[in-house]
Every structure is written in structure tokens, then in C-alpha cells.
Structure 1
Amino acid sequence: MLLTEMAPPPGAQEVAGLRARTRSARRGALVALSTSIALLATAQVLADRATTREQTLPLAVLSLGVFAAALPTLALTQYVWGARARLLRRRERELYAVARSGRARLLTRPAVAGGWAVTLLLGWTVPRFFREASLHTFADALTWGAEALSVISVGAGVSFLLWWALDAVGILARALRSGGSPGDPWDPGHGARPREGAALWTGTAVAVAGLVGARAHLWEPTTSVLYVLLAVALVLGVVTDE
């Protein structure tokens, strides 16, 4: 009997479903992160290039709105991703006695933390645009809020580094003791999913990096190029892993 004609072992279909849900949550979290950074960077580059306060004000409001929406969205999507990943690892341990090694987390977690850092840095510059739009009182209030958020962010960053270091030690120790989850033939796994997904994520990352570079004045693209990069970041982010 062919392997694909055999009945899956108990729990195999459940684990395959949990893996699919975890991949979906990961994709949603990364799309939210890349979209937030791309929109913030584009709005701020355009605000930098505005010549009058009437042109600056709507872009400042857009930057503030994107930043205010980004923080809870990133927190929620990444919480769902983490919760589903923990549920998957717990179920794998119950069925296979071991979970997947998790070595990819050693890179993905710092990368996501770096995305948070870029988002916060962009958000902390929002008050300056309101000041340039001559809304000084509102800009002062935003500055106070940004300073308070920066203190919280530094504390969260230090806590993350300690937690990541401890988790990295645990992952490496488990990798030395075991080869990781044996997997199962009923889970399509990486081989059955479109390999174009990696190329699309790479394109998204390059477009977002280009927008951030423009915001940091590392290069000076034309406005049309900015819009092209923004469109690439949004479109490729949406179609990844489809």
C-alpha cells in the first residue's frame, strides 16, 4: 500500500492543521509589520519634502494615524503567532515526545524585534511634523508621549534580550540532545508549499528597506520611485505564501 493511501496516525492531521494555522499567523504578523513600516516611512518622506505647512499637516496626521494603529496591530498579530506556535510545540511533544528544534526562532525573533525598533523610531519623529505644521501645543504633547514610550520601549528591549538569550540557550541544548520532530508524511511541509514565497518576502524586505533608507536620507529617490516601492511592499506582502 502506498504511503499516501495509509491512514494517518492519531493526531497527525491535527498537527498538520496546527502547523498551517501557525504559518498563517506568522504571515499575518509579518505582513502587518512590513506594511506599518512602509506606510510610516513613505508618509514621513513625503512630509519631509512638503514645502508648506498645509501640505505637511495631512501627512503628519497620516503618520500619527498609521503609528497609532500599528502598535496594537503588531502586538495582536504577534501574540496570535506566538500562541499558535506554543500550542503546536506542545502538541508535537505530546505526539512525538519532541518538538521541532526551533532554531529558526534564533533569527526570526531578533528580526521581528528589529522591525519593532524601526517602527518605534519612525513613530518618535511624528511630533516634529506637527511642529513644522505650526501645531506647537499638540507637538509638545506628542513629544511628552514619545518620551514616555521610549522609556517603556528601552525596558521592553532589555527584557527581550534577556528572554531571547535564555531561550537560545534552551534551543541549542535541545538541539544537541535530539534531532527534532520527525514530522509526518501527511503534513505538506515546506516542500509542498510554493517556493516563490521566499522570493516574494525578499522583494518585500528590499522594498521596505528602500523606503526606510529614503527616510534616513541614505538615498534620495524621486516621488514616483517612492510610490513604486510602497506598492511593491504592499502587493508582495499581501500575496506572499498564497
Structure 2
Amino acid sequence: MTEAAPPPGAVALTGLRARARAARRTAIATLSGSLALITFSQSLAERVPARADTLPLAVLALMLFLAALPALALTQTVWGARVRAVRRRERELYASPPRTPPRALSRLSVGCGWAVTLLLGCTVPRPFRESGLYGFADAMSRVTEALALAGSAAGVCFLVWWARGAGGKPARAGRPGGSPGDPWDPDRLTRRRRGPALHTGAAVAVAALVGARAHLWEPSTLTLSALLAAVLVCGVVTDE
């Protein structure tokens, strides 16, 4: 035989890794798409000159924000569960270290994404107030203040949990170099070349949209539309 047989359990682990990658792509696409859509709708609402035209965009921004919260929670919960399944299987088979720098970077990015989403949610009442719905805007302001407090508490709990994980038990001694990769995955090299570029492009476009929403720069509406399209296209292509 010219090819070595895969280690015991490696083929099943490859399937677990594929499921975790799919959940990761979905979670990242949901996060970037939610941020892009919310910032785009809010930026358009600010640019509408007439009060009557602001209300539909304000309602759209509110609906997008309300839909983003459960979508982010669901996709990131599935992602975390699948990653934990991979880590458990790796420790069982290869005694692989459970913590790596890319994992810490992913956690930090997701935490920042949640923080920006909640900050955008705190600005949702403003276009309703500009539309003349002062009572509804005041009620929304109270809701967003409570949401901001809940988000701050969740952020503190996240940091405590992260610190406990970083100082947890050291990895067991096992296979040198950790768990093996997926040599039975024929698309792994193409994915490595394409994935980081698409994620970087989406992140840059989202940052540009958030910067425009924060009035760090004043792009045209056409530019905002192009940035939104870039985020959505990167999310769709990455999720293939």
C-alpha cells in the first residue's frame, strides 16, 4: 500500500470538523450581515429629508435589530456546540490542546460584534423621535437602556468565563503537535486560500459601514449600497 491508513476515528473527526466549519460560516455571515443591514438602514433614515419618509426606514431598522438578536444567539450557540464537540473528540483521540490563538481571536471578534450590535440598537429610537412619534421613542429608549444594561452584564460574565477558561487545567500530554489535519478533505487548500480573503473583505466593508454610521466619514448613498452588497456577497460565497 502506498497510502497510510487514517488514524482511528480520524474520518469521523473530519465530519465533525466540517459541521463546525459550516456553523462558523453561518455565524460569521449572520453577524456581518446583521451589522451591515442595520447600519445601512439607519444611515438611510438619517439622510431622508422629510419626516414622513423617515418612519418606514425607522421601522425597518427596528425590525432588523429585533431579528438580529435571536439570529446571532442561535447561530453562535450552534457554532459553539459543534466546536466543543470537535474539541472533545480531539482530546479523546489525540489529547490535543483545547485552546489556540485563533479561537481566542474568534471569541474577541464575536464579543465586539455583539457590542456594536447593542450600540446600534441604542440608536433605534432616534429616527422615531424625528418622525414625531415621541411617546413610542421614549418607550423604546427605556427598552434599549435595559437592553444595554443586560448586555453589559453579559459582557462581564463573558470576560469572567473567558478568564477562567484561559487559566484552566493544562492540556494532557499526548500526540506531539496536537491532532492531525484533514488529509482526506480534497478542498482544504482551496478553502484556506479563499476563506481569509472573503472574511477580511466582509470585515473591512462592515467597519466602513459602521464608521459611516458613526459619522467618521460621509460616503454617498451609492457607496453605502456597494459596501452592503460586498458584505452580503462575501457572506453568500463564504457559505457555499
- For residue 122 of structure 1, what is the aligned residue in structure 2? 120
Aligned partners of 2:96 and 2:171 also within 8 Å: no
Q: Is residue 13 of structure 2 the alignment partner of residue 9 of structure 1?
A: no
* 2:25 paired with 1:41: no
Following superposition, the deviation at residue 189 of structure 1 comes to: 8.2
Distance in 2 (alpha carbons) for counterparts of 1:119 and 1:189: 34
Query: What percent identity do the matched residue pairs reach?
Result: 60
* Residue 24 (structure 2) aligned to one of 12, 23, 26: 26
2:96 corresponds, among 87, 94, 98, to 98
- Are 1:106 and 1:168, in contact at CA under 8 Å, matched by a contact in 2? no
Correspondence 1:57-96 to 2 at 5 A: 57-96=55-94
Moved over 6 A (4+): 175-178
The one-letter amino acid of 1:59's match is: L
State the TM-score, normalizing by the size of structure 1. Answer: 0.91
- Secondary structure in 2 aligned to 1:146? helix
> How far, CA to CA, are the matches of 2:2 and 2:99 in structure 1?
29
Paired with 1:31 and 1:96, the residues of 2 have a C-alpha distance of 31
1:134 aligned counterpart, secondary structure: coil
- 2:171 — aligned with what? 174
User: Which secondary structure does the structure 2 equivalent of 1:85 belong to?
Assistant: helix
- In the alignment, the residues of structure 2 paired with residue 45 and residue 162 of structure 1 have an alpha-carbon distance, to the nearest angstrom, of 35
Q: Larger deviation: 8-17 or 62-71?
A: 8-17
Tell whether the 8 Å contact from 1:100 to 1:181 is kept in structure 2 after alignment. no
Equivalent in 171, 189, 210 of residue 212 of structure 1:
210
Paired residue total: 239
Q: Secondary structure at the match of 1:45?
A: helix
CA contact (8 A) 2:94 2:178 kept: no
2:147 is aligned to 149
Structure 1 residues 65 and 129 mapped into 2: Cα distance closer, same or farther (>3 Å)?
same
Deviation by residue 1:14-73 (Cα, 9 ceiling, x = unmatched) = 100000000000000000000000001011111111111111101100100000000000
C-alpha separation in 2, matches of 1:181 and 1:10: 12
CA offsets, 1:116-141, max 9 Å, x none?
Answer: 00011001100111111111111111
Take 2:179 and 2:143, find their aligned partners in 1: how far apart are those partners? 46
Q: In structure 1, the residue corresponding to 2:80 is in which secondary structure?
A: helix
Distance (whole Å) between structure 2 residues aligned to residue 198 and residue 226 of structure 1: 23
The verdict on how the C-alpha distance between 1:184 and 1:203 changes in structure 2, with shifts beyond 3 A counting, is closer
Q: Is the 8 A contact 1:194 1:241 kept in 2?
A: no
Q: Which residue of 1 aligns with 2:138?
A: 140
User: 1:101: how far off?
Assistant: 4.1
- 1:194: Cα distance to partner? 4.6
Q: Considering only aligned residues, what root-mean-square deviation do their CA atoms show, in Å?
A: 2.1
C-alpha deviation, 1:74, in angstroms = 0.1
Structure 2 gap ranges (5+): none
Amino acid across the alignment from 2:163: A
Q: Say which of 165, 184, 187 aligns to 1:186.
A: 184
Cα distance in 1 for residues equivalent to 2:222 and 2:194: 27
Scaled by the length of structure 2, what TM-score is found? 0.92
Question: Quick one: distance in 2 between partners of 1:196 and 1:105?
Answer: 19
Distance (Å, rounded) in 2 between the aligned partners of 1:128 and 1:228: 25
Amino acid at match of 2:139: A
- In 1, Cα distance between the equivalents of 2:40 and 2:118? 15
- Offset from partner CA, 1:167-207 (integer Å, 9 cap, x none): 22338x43999743234533558535251221111111111
Q: Which residue type is aligned with residue 65 of structure 1?
A: M
Unaligned runs of 5+ in 1: none
